[in-house]
Amino acid sequence: MRPREAIASAVAPATRWRRWRRRLLWLALALPLLSIAQVAVLRVVDPPTSAFMLARQVEAWRAGDGDFALRHAWVDADAMSPAVGIALVAAEDQRFPTHHGFDVDAIQAALDGNARGGRVRGASTISQQVAKNLFLWSGRSWLRKGLEAWYTLWIELLWPKGRILEVYANTAEFGDGVYGVEAAAQAYFGAPAAGLTPHQAARLAAVLPSPRRWSVAAPGPATRARVAWIERQARQLGGPAYLEACCAP
């Protein structure tokens, strides 16, 4: 081999490595910026779907379930009954108006309870659930939890609380393939979300821990007990007025 060719062959791998290193660096910068851009856009653009809705549709296709039809219809916050927001907050995240995406007290209580054994408890806030529903997948891996925390941080930084609650109400699953309060109100009560009563809103919120196992249409004893608890909590919080300072449409 000639000296010049030998030098070129020695330099080539180093050049390729530098090129790939630059590409990896750009990728490492681009992915976080892309995720922030996703959150920023959805502050003003209503998401037509979510990661969870798409996953459920794919699940139906793989199962060959040709009769499955996903139901979802967006409704703005000012077209929802005031009972909706307070029912969701009473059921899922009572410190929602004051925390910054993570309820430290609830996390500590969940950790203490889990350490004592028994049923594993979660401590996800509404903001965290929005991050998961919109962008991620179900599961308990550390990767997913890390991404959930990242998205939650930016959702809280870039969105007002009212927008977070509005998106949650429109993307939560209230039954198999039924997403958002408008589709749920129509499916279970034959009424728009604007016409939901406090009891009906509590029935929707009651199934959120397990919407494919618990039924809005035919609530069992555990679901009925949870509905009553949500109604009491909503009253004790002060009703819809509890959210006026943070979440008014």
Lowest mean pLDDT among 115-119, 128-132, 210-214: 115-119
Q: Is 101 left (phi over 0), alpha (psi -120 to 50) or beta?
A: left
When comparing pLDDT for 41 and 117, which is higher? 41
Note whether 110 and 196 are same-domain residues: yes
Q: Where residue 158 falls among pLDDT bands split at 50, 70, 90?
A: very high
pLDDT band at 13 (very low <50, low <70, confident <90, very high): low
pLDDT band of residue 28 (cuts 50, 70, 90) is: low
Same structural domain, 63 and 108: yes
**Do 138 and 240 share a domain, yes or no?**
yes
Is 241 buried (19+), middle (13-18) or exposed (0-12) by CB count in 10 A? exposed
> Containing H/E element for 175?
strand 173-175
At residue 208, the pLDDT reads 95
Spatial distance between the Cα atoms of 43 and 222, rounded to a whole number of angstroms: 36
Q: Residue 33: which H helix or E strand, with range?
A: helix 3-41
Distance CA 24, CA 192 (A): 49
Q: Which domain holds residue 208?
A: 42-247
Give the pLDDT of residue 80: 97
- For residues 28 and 128, state if they share a domain: no
Number of domains in the chain: 2
13 and 116 share a domain?
no
For residues 76 and 12, state if they share a domain. Answer: no
**CATH code assigned at 160:** 1.10.3810.10
Residue 182 has pLDDT above 70, yes or no: yes
Instruction: Determine the pLDDT at residue 112.
Output: 53
Together in a domain, 99 and 146: yes
Q: Is the pLDDT of residue 8 over 50?
A: no
Provide the pLDDT for residue 107. 64
User: What are the tokens at 127?
Assistant: 């903001």
Of 21 and 47, more confident: 47
Q: Contact at 8 Å (CB) between 135 and 37? A: no
Q: Per-residue pLDDT averaged across 223-233, rounded?
A: 97
User: For 235-244, what is each residue's pLDDT tens digit?
Assistant: 999 999 999 9
Residue in the block written with tokens 């000639």: 2
pLDDT tens digits for 68-122?
999 999 999 999 999 999 999 999 999 999 999 888 776 656 555 555 555 544 5
Which residues have CB under 8 Å from 111's CB, separation 6+? none
DSSP-derived pairing of the beta strands 173-175 and 71-72: unpaired
- Starting at the earlier edge strand, list the strands of the sheet with 173-175: 71-72, 178-179, 173-175
Q: Indicate the pLDDT class of residue 43, thresholds 50, 70 and 90.
A: very high
Residues 144 and 234 in one domain: yes
- Whether 144 and 196 map to the same domain: the answer is yes
Same domain? For 34 and 117 the reply is no
CA-based torsion, 70, 76, 82, 88: positive or negative: positive
pLDDT at 226 over 70: yes
One-letter amino acid for residue 205 of the chain: A
Mean pLDDT of 152-181: 97
Q: Is a pLDDT exceeding 60 seen at residue 11?
A: no
Are 71 and 113 members of one domain?
Answer: yes
pLDDT of residue 200: 98
Query: How many angstroms separate the CA atoms of 149 and 62, rounded?
Result: 30
For residue 121, what pLDDT is reported? 46
Residue 135 burial (CB < 10 Å; 0-12/13-18/19+)?
buried
34 and 84 together in one domain: no
Instruction: Say which residues have a Cβ less than 8 Å from residue 126's Cβ, sequence separation at least 6.
Output: 88, 89, 92, 93, 96, 164, 165, 168
Statement: residue 225 has pLDDT above 60: yes
Q: Coil, strand or helix: which one is 227?
A: helix
- Each as own residue / partner, the long-range contacts of residues 17-23 (CB below 8 Å, 24 or more positions apart, any chain) are none
